[in-house]
Amino acid sequence: MLNVIDGLVILMIICFLILIVKKFASKIKNAESYYVASRSIPFSLLVGTLVASWYGGPGLLNTVETAAVSGLAAWGIWCVGAHVARIPLALWVAPAVSMRTEMTIPQMLKKVYGKKVSFFMAIYMLITLLSISEIVALKNVVAGLFGESVTWVVPLILMGVVVLTIFGGMMGVAVTDMLLFFCMCVSIASATSALWGNVGCWEGLIQKLTAVYGPDTTQDMLNPFHGANTLEVVTLLFVSLKVYVHANLYQRFSAADSPRSAARSYLACFCIFIMMDFLLTIAGLVVGAERPGTNIAQSYIAMVCQVLPSGMRGMFAVGLLGAIISTLDSVWLACGMMIANDIIGELIPLSDQKNILCGRISIAAFALIGYMGAFYFTRSVDVTKFFGTMTMSVQFVMAIMGLFYRGRKTDVAAWAAMISGGLTFFVIKFCYPVVTPIGNIDGAFFAVPVSLIVFLIGSRFGKEYTRESAKG
């Protein structure tokens, strides 16, 4: 458990965060400076906030949990595969978004499909961005660090994140994310190193795994391309593609100081993700060997707290909590921006000051809704998979085709793609599941092709806004 020295380390970092928020709160002049930092975030700061905001608590703990069961395949198949699938995001999507004048995905889609589609999409995206998985992960991390009975810590942390986001704006969030990114890297590296040495390095790990699982299973677990549930891996890889339409990343690409910075930053993130995932995979293997059959996430936290010295345990706590905090502040800021600009701003005109006030109130309300929703879930991975596959089914085709397809795009095609994809997903998910010997096939695998076909058919009908705008 944590001691006084660990508490002092945590308190010192909290003081740094307060000073950062105070500094940048005074520099907010208008809506653009609040939501996208006046499009001035440089490459180095962009890398830090992208890694910190995207590498959340569920991703961190899920990697450890998957590695404890599947071995090195958690890294070789799931982690590497997911990041490789996102390389086009850096090469084409990031610079394209950075060159646009719009700040949100609904604003971009408004020019393609019209106001009604954009308004609906904003509401739908808010539902998928409730951050329930992060809050569930936060509850598990707090339970592992402070004990199951210390329930008051969770709402306290959430209130702190709300204050940070409300007053810091995009630049304040980016700088605090950079600090938390540093803490995350140091804590993950030190934790894995300590666990690795404690288990007896490679020889000790093999002996432990063999004693628990037997030689054949151990050999499979040490093969980075073997041992994982194929259907589970494919589903998670598929879900990883939702990043192409994630409001949080688009906001950061919009805040970049140049299209080149936006592209280079995500390529740099790719390298960092690969290294961090490998360290977490090794940690997961050690935990699986030392404490099989337990709650892997909480066992991981407990084991690290046992092997790390005082002070470093505090840094580890900040790194774990920082992974969650940096994701929450980023998502909540993106949600506040969408509510102020794409929902309320579409109904009534707002000045810059009223726009910022509306965004701040929305952030607080959104955080409260997410906290209440987290009571209905115990595993963050379940929330991640459900909202991820639902996003792919309803939003993916319409958004990607709207932003990057050069052919005919109409409002009818958008509505048809969203409705057909959503209906296909829910029918297969809840009414007529497709069952195989290794598990159920997620409805999104059928919903996305159906949505694409219906979109192409629907594009023959309806209003083409882009062509009319060009004529105007």
- Which residue is it, tokens 């929902």? 343
**pLDDT one-digit tens code per residue, 254-266:** 888 888 888 888 7
> What angle, 0 to 180 degrees and rounded to 10, lies between the N-to-C axes of helices 259-290 and 43-54?
40
Which backbone phi and psi does 194 adopt, to 5 degrees? -65, -45
SS3 content of the chain, % helix, strand, coil (to 5): 80, 0, 15
- Under the banding of pLDDT at 50, 70 and 90, the label for residue 450 is very high
For the segment 61-87, the average pLDDT, to the nearest whole number, is 79
**pLDDT one-digit tens code per residue, 4-31:** 888 888 888 888 888 888 888 878 888 8
- Cα separations (Å) of 195 from 116, 315, 333, 396? 54, 16, 36, 40
Numbers of helices and strands, H then E, in the chain: 26, 2
HSE-CB for 301 with a 13 A CA cutoff: 27
In 3-state terms, what secondary structure has residue 217?
helix
pLDDT at 420: 94
- Cα separations (Å) of 152 from 146, 147, 244? 11, 11, 36
pLDDT at 470: 38
- CA–CA separation, 296 and 453 (whole Å): 42
Which backbone phi and psi does 233 adopt, to 5 degrees? -65, -45
**pLDDT one-digit tens code per residue, 349-404:** 888 889 999 999 999 998 888 888 777 766 666 666 777 778 888 888 998 898 88
In 3-state terms, what secondary structure has residue 39?
helix
- CA–CA separation, 385 and 391 (whole Å): 10
User: Cα(first)–Cα(last) distance of the chain, in Å?
Assistant: 66
Report the candidate in 388, 384, 323 with the shortest Cα–Cα distance to residue 177.
323
- CA–CA separation, 91 and 113 (whole Å): 25
Q: CB of 287 within 8 A of CB of 278? A: no
Cα four-point dihedral sign 242, 246, 252, 257: positive
- CA–CA separation, 91 and 87 (whole Å): 6
For the entire predicted model, the pTM comes to 0.84
Highest mean pLDDT among 144-148, 236-240, 297-301: 297-301
Q: How far is CA 396 from the centre of its chain?
A: 16
Amino acid at 303: M
- Under the banding of pLDDT at 50, 70 and 90, the label for residue 228 is low
Report the candidate in 188, 152, 165 with the shortest Cα–Cα distance to residue 17.
165
192-201 — which CB contacts under 8 Å span 24+ positions?
A: 192/279, 192/280, 192/282, 192/283, 194/304, 194/307, 194/308, 195/282, 195/283, 195/286, 195/287, 195/303, 195/304, 195/307, 196/282, 196/286, 197/307, 198/286, 198/303, 198/307, 199/286, 199/289, 199/290
| Count of Cβ atoms closer than 10 Å to residue 345 Cβ | 20
Name the CA radius of gyration of the chain, rounded. 22
- DSSP lists the bridge partners of residue 440 as 435
- Cα separations (Å) of 400 from 16, 119, 240, 246, 411? 39, 17, 15, 11, 14
In 3-state terms, what secondary structure has residue 437?
coil
DSSP-derived secondary structure for 375-401: GG-S-HHHHHHHHHHHHIIIIIHHHHH
- CA–CA separation, 390 and 396 (whole Å): 9
pLDDT at 414: 93
- CA–CA separation, 311 and 12 (whole Å): 11
- Under the banding of pLDDT at 50, 70 and 90, the label for residue 413 is very high
- Decide if pLDDT at 472 tops 60: no
Higher pLDDT, 55 or 202: 202
What residue ranges define each of the domains in the chain, with the CATH number in brackets? Answer: 4-378 (1.20.1730.10), 405-472 (no CATH)
Cα four-point dihedral sign 468, 115, 28, 36: negative
- Decide if pLDDT at 471 tops 60: no
For the segment 313-325, the average pLDDT, to the nearest whole number, is 86
Which backbone phi and psi does 459 adopt, to 5 degrees? -65, -15
pLDDT at 1: 67
* Alpha helices, DSSP H, located in 308-379: 312-338, 345-347, 352-373
**pLDDT one-digit tens code per residue, 132-156:** 778 888 887 888 777 767 778 888 8
Per-residue tokens: 455? 């979109």
Q: How far is CA 470 from the centre of its chain?
A: 36
- Decide if pLDDT at 99 tops 70: yes
Share of the chain above pLDDT 70, in %: 92
pLDDT at 377: 67
**pLDDT one-digit tens code per residue, 436-447:** 665 677 788 889
User: Over the chain, what is the mean pLDDT?
Assistant: 83
pLDDT at 469: 46
For the segment 287-308, the average pLDDT, to the nearest whole number, is 85
DSSP secondary structure code for residue 442 in this structure:
P
